[in-house]
């Protein structure tokens, strides 16, 4: 968690992409009502020449931290692939959120098929460092699932139109976010590409081998490249093969992943044989590729600038796995999916099994980054599963899901 160039009214499929981070976490997916959230805040004030916000790179997402008030710090993810903003009930209450007059709830659908209404609100103010947004339109949503998944409390997911009056730089290289008044002239290094902003999300031309296509610049996806092959002729050196499950509007979908035998070109930058997620929506480049750049969005001029210190070919390493994906709580992790023909499947691990410990440590001791490092560096991992009143340990090899 892509839409086509002629996106439907409410960019509904964009929301499926925007919220795919939580594999099978049950996070709700927007179906209707997006058009009422595409306007920028009534007023945006930047008190300094620029505001630099510290960030952490977690699962290919830049998680920014800002104090805000005495109750902070607060943590946000900026989702350039979304035209709407999600805020938690606590944050809305604390910062003076008001229900939108005469606005019905927005119908949303979860991967389990249940429908829920999210409340549209106008937030009196939202401060990010020295930047103050007033009259912010948002949807109220409990982001506990996302917080549990990443291991850090997330207070909001900020949509692209919020930053229309600024220059927004997502600097994955030094993890930080810089917000600058749009009227301040800046000579930006790197490669500048015009984008189509008609749907309040940035769509740019990129190239696969000798073929050009349109892709969404999507900081709300942790994938490297989500590829719709319609009209293209991709060559694969590995796969595509089934991976983990992801949530979709129609329910859960088996992820199909592979490694291309062609280079991807973004401006003058070349990514050698990238790993791709297959999609039937608009192609997008997500955090798995963006993490190699500092990316500056200028919505006044409808252009985005990619920068890295050199033009060396970018290489994407293998995708490693034990064959399991999880939904997470502080007390236990529930198996969301098991990769077919993996050792986990052969040893009888099933979706729904509850894991209480990893390498004999409680799952609460394994925030996302630590667990990701374990997957990256280990050859075997031992999981402890709850089986009635008993516990059962299963040791699984770590393998290259995509070499």
Q: Are 352 and 334 in contact (CB under 8 A)?
A: yes
Instruction: Please write the tens of the pLDDT for every residue from 230-271.
Output: 999 999 999 898 877 654 434 456 678 999 999 999 999 999
Position of tokens 């073929």?
211
Task: Give residue 75's pLDDT.
Answer: 95
Task: Give residue 252's pLDDT.
Answer: 53
The distance of Cα 383 from the centroid of its chain, to the nearest Å, equals 27
How do the residues of the chain divide into helix, strand and coil, expressed in percent and rounded to 5? 10, 45, 40
- CATH architecture type of domain 319-402: Roll (2.30)
Instruction: Please write the tens of the pLDDT for every residue from 180-217.
Output: 887 665 667 899 999 998 888 999 999 999 999 999 99
Assess whether the region 12-181 and the region 198-289+311-315 belong to the same CATH fold. Answer: yes
Q: Does domain 12-181 have CATH number 2.40.70.10?
A: yes
Residues contacting residue 302 through CB under 8 Å, at least 6 positions apart: 194, 195, 196, 197
Task: Give residue 118's pLDDT.
Answer: 82
Residues contacting residue 221 through CB under 8 Å, at least 6 positions apart: 1, 17, 18, 20, 21, 81, 284, 286, 287
Task: Give residue 260's pLDDT.
Answer: 97
CA nearest to 288, candidates 241, 220, 377, 336: 220
Task: Give residue 125's pLDDT.
Answer: 85
User: Any bridge partners for residue 296, and if so which?
Assistant: 169, 305
Task: Give residue 306's pLDDT.
Answer: 96
Residues contacting residue 125 through CB under 8 Å, at least 6 positions apart: 95, 96, 132, 133, 134, 136
Q: Does domain 198-289+311-315 have CATH number 2.40.70.10?
A: yes
Task: Give residue 6's pLDDT.
Answer: 25
Task: Give residue 274's pLDDT.
Answer: 96
Task: Give residue 202's pLDDT.
Answer: 96
Mean pLDDT by 10 residues, the chain (403 residues): 29 36 32 44 66 92 85 90 90 81 64 67 88 89 86 92 93 95 71 91 95 95 92 94 61 78 96 93 94 95 94 94 88 90 94 95 92 95 91 95 94
Domain positions in the chain are 12-181, 198-289+311-315, 319-402
Q: pTM score, two decimals?
A: 0.85
């Amino acid at each position: 968690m892509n839409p086509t160039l002629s996106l439907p009214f409410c960019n509904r499929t964009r929301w499926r992409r925007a919220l795919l981070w939580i594999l099978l976490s049950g996070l709700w997916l927007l179906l209707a009502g997006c058009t009422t959230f595409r306007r920028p805040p009534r007023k945006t004030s930047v008190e300094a020449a620029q505001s630099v916000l510290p960030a952490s790179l977690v699962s290919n997402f830049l998680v920014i931290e800002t104090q805000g008030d005495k109750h902070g710090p607060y943590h946000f993810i900026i989702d350039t692939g979304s035209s709407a903003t999600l805020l938690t009930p606590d944050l809305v209450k604390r910062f003076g959120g008001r229900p939108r007059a005469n606005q019905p709830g927005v119908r949303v659908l979860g991967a389990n098929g249940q429908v829920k209404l999210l409340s549209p609100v106008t937030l009196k103010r939202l401060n990010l460092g020295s930047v103050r947004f007033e009259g912010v339109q948002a949807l109220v949503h409990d982001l506990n699932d996302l917080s549990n998944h990443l291991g850090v409390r997330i207070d909001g997911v900020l949509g692209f139109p919020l930053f229309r009056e600024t220059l927004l730089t997502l600097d994955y290289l030094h993890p930080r976010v810089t917000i600058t008044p749009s009227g301040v002239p800046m000579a930006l290094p790197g490669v500048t590409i015009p984008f189509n902003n008609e749907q309040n999300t940035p769509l740019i031309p990129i190239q696969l081998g000798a073929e050009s296509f349109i892709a969404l610049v999507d900081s709300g996806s942790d994938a490297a490249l989500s590829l719709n092959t319609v009209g293209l002729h991709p060559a694969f050196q590995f796969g595509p093969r089934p991976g983990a499950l992801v949530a979709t509007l129609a329910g859960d979908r088996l992820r199909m992943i592979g490694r291309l035998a062609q280079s991807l070109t973004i401006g003058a930058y070349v990514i050698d044989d990238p790993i791709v997620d297959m999609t039937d929506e608009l192609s997008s480049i997500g955090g798995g590729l963006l993490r190699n750049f500092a990316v500056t969005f200028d919505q006044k001029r409808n252009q985005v600038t990619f920068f890295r210190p050199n033009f060396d070919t970018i290489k994407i390493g293998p995708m490693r796995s034990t064959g399991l994906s999880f939904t997470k709580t502080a007390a236990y992790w529930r198996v969301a999916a098991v990769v077919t023909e993996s050792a986990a499947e052969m040893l009888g691990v099933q979706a729904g099994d509850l894991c209480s410990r990893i390498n004999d440590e409680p799952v609460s001791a394994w925030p996302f980054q630590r667990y990701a490092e374990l997957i990256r560096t280990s050859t075997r991992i031992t999981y402890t599963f709850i089986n009635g009143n008993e516990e059962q340990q299963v040791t699984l090899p770590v393998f290259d899901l995509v070499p």
